[in-house]
């Protein structure tokens, strides 16, 4: 008798690309993983077209899935201390650092381990299509996944650690010691842009590049220019092991995510 495999599907949606991962829960293994980078930043409408084409062209997505999770990776997000959070003020929180429209749907994720709430704008057209195609699913923001996953790679909670997740030409930057000290999202074009944002973060948080522990994850390796320029200015630089698909892999363990 053939045992039915329990599978979970995670889809990361970024206007610069798409990522897919299928986790086989039966034997706890990654059954499928793939990342697609676009030549340029697309609109949400164009990104949906690419998503439809990919789902239709690959038979792996015709499987029965126990759960489906969508990660919305964009700059339209902010973090709010839970003690100060009021859902009625979602648009007010976002408008200070994101350009939003009156018609935008705003969602939130609660990060209980940090006692904060991530407020963000998901791609509603993507959510609608996933629901039409697969039925009920969960969604979350990339900041939620990143912050939850960061705890797994921080070994020193007494000193501040700078963690950077790189996805093509975007970067999530997190500073954490005993507590979360800083989180931001940047888009860059050149390695010089990249190191500017890192050193700017160090300056703002009064971190000494000579003693700071910098951990890189995502689409980076020791041979590329981003690692080289980071190592030029920051003394201790490590690449998190097997981290190319950092967000998409860690999304299966994300907590407190919205459900449709």
DSSP labels for 20-49? EEEEETTTTEEEEEEEEE-SS---HHHHHH
Query: Which residue range is the domain that position 238 belongs to?
Result: 150-246
Question: Is 87 part of any domain?
Answer: no
Give the residue ranges of the chain where pLDDT is below 50.
Answer: 1-2, 255-256
Half-sphere exposure of 129 (CA within 13 A, CB side): 19
Q: Residue 44 domain-assigned?
A: no
pLDDT for 1 equals 41
The pLDDT tens digits of the residues spanning 213-240 come to 899 999 999 999 999 999 999 989 999 8
> Is 167 among the domain residues?
yes
Predicted pLDDT of residue 259? 54
The angle, 0 to 180 degrees and rounded to 10, between the axes of the packed helices 225-233 and 191-204 is 40
pLDDT at 157: 67
State which H helix or E strand residue 59 sits in: none
**pLDDT score at 50:** 97
How do 7-14 and 67-73 pair as beta strands? parallel
Indicate left, alpha or beta for 99 from its phi (over 0: left) and psi (-120 to 50: alpha).
Answer: beta
> pTM, whole model, 2 decimals?
0.91
pLDDT of residue 97: 77
Q: What is the pLDDT of residue 105?
A: 92
Report the pLDDT value the prediction gives residue 256, as an integer from 0 to 100. Answer: 41
| CATH number (domain holding residue 213) | 3.30.420.260
pLDDT of residue 254: 54
Number of domains composing the chain: 1
The confidence score (pLDDT) of residue 151 equals 80
Contact 82, 117 (CB under 8 A): yes
Torsion angle defined by CA atoms of residues 142, 88, 86 and 67, in that order, rounded to the nearest 10 degrees: -40
Q: Nearest 5 degrees, angle CA 67-CA 68-CA 74?
A: 150
Please indicate, yes or no, if residue 252 is contained in any of the structural domains: no
Tell me how far apart the alpha carbons of residues 78 and 75 are, in angstroms, rounded to a whole number: 8
């Amino acid at each position: 008798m053939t045992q039915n495999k329990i599978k979970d599907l995670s889809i990361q949606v970024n206007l610069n690309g798409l990522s897919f991962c299928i986790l086989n829960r039966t034997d706890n293994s990654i059954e499928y993983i793939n990342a697609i980078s676009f030549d340029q930043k697309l609109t949400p409408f164009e990104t949906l077209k690419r998503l439809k084409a990919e789902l239709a062209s690959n038979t792996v997505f015709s499987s029965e899935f126990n759960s489906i999770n969508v990660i919305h990776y964009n700059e339209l997000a902010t973090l709010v201390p839970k003690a100060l959070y009021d859902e009625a003020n979602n648009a007010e929180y976002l408008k200070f650092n994101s350009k939003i429209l009156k018609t935008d749907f705003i969602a939130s994720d609660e990060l209980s381990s940090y006692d904060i709430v991530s407020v963000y704008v998901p791609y509603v057209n993507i959510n609608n299509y996933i629901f039409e195609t697969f039925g009920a699913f969960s969604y979350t923001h990339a900041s939620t996944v990143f912050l939850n996953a960061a705890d797994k790679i921080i070994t020193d909670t007494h000193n501040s650690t700078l963690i950077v997740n790189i996805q093509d030409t975007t970067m999530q930057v997190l500073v954490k010691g005993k507590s979360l000290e800083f989180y931001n999202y940047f888009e860059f074009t050149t390695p010089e842009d990249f190191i500017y944002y890192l050193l700017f973060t160090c300056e703002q948080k009064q971190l000494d590049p000579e003693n700071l522990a910098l951990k890189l994850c995502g689409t980076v390796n020791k041979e590329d220019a981003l690692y080289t320029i980071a190592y030029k200015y920051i003394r201790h630089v490590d690449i998190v092991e097997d981290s190319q698909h950092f967000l998409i892999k860690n999304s299966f363990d994300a907590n407190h995510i919205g459900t449709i």
